[in-house]
Amino acid sequence: MTGDDEAELQGHFREVMAGVATPVSVVTAIAGGLPHGTTVSAFASLSMDPPMVLVALDRASELLALVRESRRFGVNVLGSAQSALALAFAKKGGAGKFQGVRWELDHGLPRLPRTPGWLACELADLVGGGDHVIALGRVVAAQTRDGKPLTYHARAFGTHSALEEVTS
C-alpha cells in the first residue's frame, strides 16, 4: 500500500469511526499523592465473570506509564452535563488537569464527583494495539448513580435517548 493509499484509508476509517457513538470516561491513577487522568472514548465491558473492562491508552501517555507502574486505575463514566470535564482531561498535562477540579480518593484512586458510573480496577494485562495499549482491568469496586451518559458521536458530545417501542 502506498503512502497516499494509507492516508486515504485512514481518512475513511476516521469517518466510519466518527459515526460510532462511544461512551466518554476519564481514566485515573495516582502517583506520589497526585491525581492523574485522561479522557478516553475507547472503553468497554469485557467480562462479567470475573467483572472486567478494557480501556485504550495512547502509548505515549503519562497515564499509561502510571498504570503500568501502579497496576491500578479508575474509570469515571461521565454524565451528559460533564462535557467540560471531558475536554479538560483530553488535554496534555498530567496532574495539572486536576487544577480546579474536585476529586476524592476511592479505593486509593482519584474519583470525580457526580459521575453516573465509577469503577476501581486492578490491572490484569496490557495488550498492544497500534498506537495504543489496551489495559484490561479486573473490577474491584463499582458504583452507579442516576444520570444520562455522555457520548461522543460525529465529533460532538451528546447523550443516549431510548427509542419509542414499535408495536405491531
Across residues 99-112, what is the average pLDDT? Answer: 96
How far apart are the C-alpha atoms of 25 and 59, rounded to whole Å?
18
- What confidence tens digit (pLDDT) does each residue in 73-98 have? 999 999 999 999 999 999 887 668 99
Across residues 29-52, what is the average pLDDT? Answer: 95
| pTM: predicted TM-score of the whole model, two decimal places | 0.91
H-assigned helices in the chain:
3-18, 62-70, 83-90
Choice between 155 and 135, residue whose per-residue pLDDT is larger: 135
Query: For the chain, what percent of residues have pLDDT higher than 70?
Result: 98
How far apart are the C-alpha atoms of 117 and 131, rounded to whole Å?
27
Predicted confidence band at 3 (pLDDT cuts at 50, 70, 90)?
A: confident
Domains of the chain from N-terminus onward: 23-149 (2.30.110.10)
With a CB cutoff of 8 Å and minimum separation 6, the contacts of 78 are 23, 24, 25, 26, 85, 86, 112, 115, 116, 149, 150
Would you state the pLDDT for residue 168? Answer: 65
End-to-end CA, the chain = 50
- What confidence tens digit (pLDDT) does each residue in 5-40 have? 889 999 998 899 888 889 999 999 999 999 999 999
Across residues 120-141, what is the average pLDDT? Answer: 97
